[in-house]
Amino acid sequence: MTTGPNQVLPRWRLELIGISKSYANVVANEDISLRVKPGEIHGLVGENGAGKSTLMKILYGMVRPDAGQIIWNDKETLIESPAVAQRLGIGMILQHFALFDTLTAAENIALGLVGRPPLADVIRRVNELGQQYSLSIDPMQHVYTMSVGQRQRVEILRALMQSPKLLIMDEPTSVLTPQAVERLFDTLRVIADEGCSIIYISHKLGEVQSLCHRATVLRQGRVVHTCQTNLETEESLAHMMIGSDPPKLREKDATSLPSRTRIEVRNISVQLDDPFSTPLDNISFAVREGEILGIAGVSGNGQQELFSVLSGEIAKLKSGSLLVDNKELTTLSPLQRRRLGLCALPDDRMGRGAVGIMPLTWNLLLTSNGAEHVRYGFIRFRQLNASTEDCIRQFNVVAPGVNAKAASLSGGNLQKFLIGREVLQEPKVLIVSQPTWGVDVGAAAAIHQVLLDLSASGCAVIVISEELDELFQLSDRLVVMASGTLSEPVKRADFDRDAVGLAMAGQSPSDQEQEATDAVSL
């Protein structure tokens, strides 16, 4: 990755000239040209479905373009496969993970490396890089037991292990605390200074503006602008992306709502047989009607287990109880909980939230809890189609129709559909995990507005997220989850980014002061 003193760098590390790609009647990329300098951090932004992922898959050899040229280090190059891309020095972190569930993290990483290094060497390097970049994982943990955030760490570490000349990073910071994001950015700047180019794809426009030298904006498969990020604002970048100003959130007015408790969690403790799970220790909180409780935390600290306990997927508790409107739900199944008004949407929208090969109608039916769609064991297709059309219309889901397969929708549109599916059931309590993970600025604003409006109608909303901006924007109160325990709740007026970031890392401000003192004394 380092550049020797006498080594002559190419004028452009990468040039894409006139790249086009279509699928049937859908144009994914149309005449796209893009240049990246050696050592440049180049942002790539656009709405879901703008063509970013397709373009990067072409660059990484996963997709063949219909037209266009790839110039690598000033030479025209044909990249026929990811193996060719890796040999050239291109590393990629996919937004949608390319991991084998039944293998360990170390085994998955080893499969992506050239030369098949010994597994012991891979484990050692994973531990070293994990500590260096605050991306620690257990190398021997099986992927199927990992949360979405932990899987993303595996992808990041696998790319860094390849010492790339060009690193493609697709939404890499969703699992990190604010302090860890800054450390990662410092590392990326060092890597870039050594000559490695970085293409940085993110919906967090503040990150693009602060990290990237330049940015290319895609809209509907075409390049609409390439700019110097230090001359732009988040608002101007968002305007380029969607062609208009992003919608402003309407703040909820819940002052007239009564403040009775909707959901109460009392002293819940859980110890699962899975050695890679996080035990929950004496979890207690309550959420009132019309209130949004935000739960922050770095992935792998018990959020997935807490979600499963609340939704009913984990029914065996060591101790504790769960109540909704003072009714005991602790021993009830997920379906029984739904019928009593507790709905839940997991972080893994394609897998646990939806079945990709099924049409939207069937995906809506999967969580339907009333007789509206099924009566006497028979599906009422007219009502089911009408409800699906209503969900698509009300929540502005871009889809060709009710029979479109879930996997054919962009991430943002699928997420809007799934949240709409839950909202239409008029829940008393809604629990959502990572509601805008990998979602563009326009779709994220729409999802946030839905959650605010639902809360204002009297629903108690619990948002589990690793996005502090999202939690700060939505939450009336905020708690932090670390090592299976919850902090004391903090009211909106007392939110502090640094304090929350430290709590997410299992530290307090006094811990940080002590670390600084120790460093000075050394």
Q: Is 269 helix (H, G, I), strand (E, B) or coil?
A: strand
One-letter amino acid for residue 459 of the chain: C
User: Cα–Cα distance between 152 and 97 in angstroms, integer?
Assistant: 7
User: Cα–Cα distance between 28 and 26 in angstroms, integer?
Assistant: 6
**φ and ψ at 406, to 5 degrees?**
-60, -40
Q: Which domains, and CATH codes, for the chain? A: 14-242 (3.40.50.300), 261-349+427-510 (3.40.50.300)
The model's confidence at residue 276, banded by pLDDT at 50, 70 and 90, is confident
pLDDT digits (tens, 9 = 90+) for 150-182: 887 888 888 888 888 999 998 787 666 677 788
pLDDT at 71 over 90: yes
- Which of these, 354, 362, 319, 315, lies nearest to 337 by C-alpha position? 315
pLDDT digits (tens, 9 = 90+) for 193-210: 889 999 999 888 989 999
Report residue 162 as tokens: 């390849």
Would you say 240 and 216 are in contact if contact means Cβ atoms under 8 Å apart? no
User: Cα–Cα distance between 385 and 361 in angstroms, integer?
Assistant: 6
User: Cα–Cα distance between 113 and 105 in angstroms, integer?
Assistant: 13
Would you say 126 and 95 are in contact if contact means Cβ atoms under 8 Å apart? no
Q: Burial level of 32, CB count in 10 A (0-12/13-18/19+)? A: buried
Summarize the confidence of residues 433-457 as an average pLDDT. Answer: 88
User: Cα–Cα distance between 101 and 395 in angstroms, integer?
Assistant: 33
Please count the other Cβ atoms lying within 10 Å of the Cβ belonging to residue 63: 18
Whole-prediction pTM = 0.76
pLDDT at 254 over 60: no
User: Cα–Cα distance between 21 and 8 in angstroms, integer?
Assistant: 33
Summarize the confidence of residues 252-269 as an average pLDDT. Answer: 80
pLDDT digits (tens, 9 = 90+) for 27-42: 999 999 999 999 999 9
**Cα separations in angstroms, 352 against 275, 300, 366, 418, 462:** 22, 17, 11, 11, 18
User: Cα–Cα distance between 15 and 33 in angstroms, integer?
Assistant: 7
> Residue 242: its pLDDT value, please?
85
